[in-house]
Chains A and B, each alone.
Chain A
Amino acid sequence: MKSLRKLFAWASAGKRALRDIPGCLAVLPVLRAQLHETSQQVEEAVVGVCGNFTGIAARARRAVAQTAELLGGDQQDSDATVERSIETSRLTIAGLLERVERAGQMSSLVISSMQEIEATAVGIESLLSEVQRIAFLNKIVALNAKIEAVHVGQLGSGFEVVADEISRQSARSDELAEGIGDRIGQMRERVRSAAANLRECVAQDRAKLDESRHNADTALTLLWSLHQKARECLSRMTGENQSLADDISSAVVALQFQDRVKQRVAHVMSVLQSVEGVLGSEVGSEAARPERAIPTPALVAEMHAAYSMEAERSVMNRPAVQSAPASSDMEVELF
């Protein structure tokens, strides 16, 4: 009696299940369509992300290229070029400053020579004074001779002529000595004035030279510092670009889950379609046979044949809740 009741309950349940199958069958195509659409949308999203990678990589590459171009081409070459240019500039400026300094030294030598000329002129003036003194003495001698000639009378007339001539020559010598003295005085004044001007110029040049040297050193040091910073920046950017490339590579690996998911979903959809066909034919032909298990061996074989990943096959061979370990190594075999 108890067994009969059980059998009746089981039959009722089977009948109810059979009644529900058409409803479930109607849902299956919708589920497949949902899976298909979702799979497509995920693929489109992944394609979009990959497109972004291309843009990111291109921008990073462009940024590094532009920085390298700013520094004058290839990093190593540019380092050599800029550093060499800075060193060349430093040497050129040092050479120019040295020349200016040498010109200053030459000017100092010229000033010394001028001072010597001035001293010589003073010596000449002193000698001229002596010449004037001698001329004056000659004049006195001539005057005395003339007096003596007068005393002698007619006999001294010739002597008087000589005395007059000596007096005239003395006056002429005095005039010439005075003229020379004037001109030497003028020359001495001009030399002194030129020496003073030159001395002032040398002093100003020296002050400017020190200032220029300081400015040039500051500018070159700044240039060097900027170059170092630019080089560090380029080096950092290159490093960051490398990190970016590594990150993108990792992301590309991670995003391939979509391809695997898409394949697995396609396989699931394919089998769902087969299940749908089997159930549809069962319901359409005769009453359901509860002893027939689904999936049928043919469906299992179909599923197995469709699988293209070890991960899929392993799901069939292990308890449903257990998940497979993920492998991070890329499997490669060259023939």
Chain B
Amino acid sequence: MPRTALIVDDSASIREMVAFTLREAGFAVLEGVHGADGLEKLGEQRVELIITDLNMPVMDGLTFIRQVRTRPANRYTPILMLTTESQPEKKQQGKAAGATGWVVKPFHPMKLLEVIGKVLP
């Protein structure tokens, strides 16, 4: 049974690239185009990893993370922020919202998998 990851990003190309990287590593992948869509896709699914962008329309990454953390099933699910933003204060906001880690784009597929290996139980 493959592990499932949820990717939330308003950029179709980034979703495609992250999905490609994760599928190559054996993950099943769910995709959301913004935070609200991500929550909908999450539904009652069992997800072992979430990767989300910060700046998105409808619902941004920070709000999405806060919402995810209110769900008992996802309280400890690793959540990586994958964003072009690298300001320390933004990172602090991400950490406060419940993110597990912060990865600045552009990402390298192998390095992203290394980071995922570190945060997955």
Contact = CB atoms under 8 A, between A and B. Distances in A.
Interface stretch (A43-51, A110-118, A151-159, A192-200): A43-51
Contact of A51 (B14, B16, B94, B111): B16
A260 interface: yes
B63 to A, nearest CB: 16
Contacts of A333: 91, 101-102
B106 interface: yes
Interface string A309-335: 110000000000000000000111111
Interface stretch (A181-189, A248-256, A271-279): A248-256
A253 B99 contact: no
Contacts of A256: 13-14, 17, 105-107
Nearest to B21: A252
Contact of A47 (B13, B24, B55, B103): B13
Interface size range of chain A in the complex: 20 to 34
Given A256-B17, A260-B105, A333-B101, A249 B110 contact: yes
Interface residues of B, number: 37
A257 B14 CA distance: 10
A146 to B, nearest CB: 121
Contacts of B84: 259-260, 263, 308-309
Given A57-B24, A308-B54, A255 B13 contact: yes
A330 B106 contact: yes
Interface in B33-75: 54-55
A53 interface: yes
Interface of B: 11-14, 16-17, 20-21, 23-24, 54-55, 83-87, 91, 94-95, 99-112, 115, 118-119
21 contacts: A44-B12, A47-B16, A50-B13, A53-B20, A248-B109, A252-B17, A252-B21, A253-B108, A253-B109, A256-B106, A259-B14, A309-B84, A330-B108, A331-B104, A332-B102, A332-B103, A333-B91, A334-B102, A335-B94, A335-B100, A335-B101
Interface of A: 43-44, 46-47, 50-51, 53-54, 57, 245, 248-249, 252-260, 262-263, 308-310, 330-335
Given A54-B20, A57-B20, A256-B105, 10 more contacts: A50-B20, A259-B84, A259-B105, A262-B11, A308-B55, A308-B84, A332-B104, A333-B102, A334-B100, A334-B102
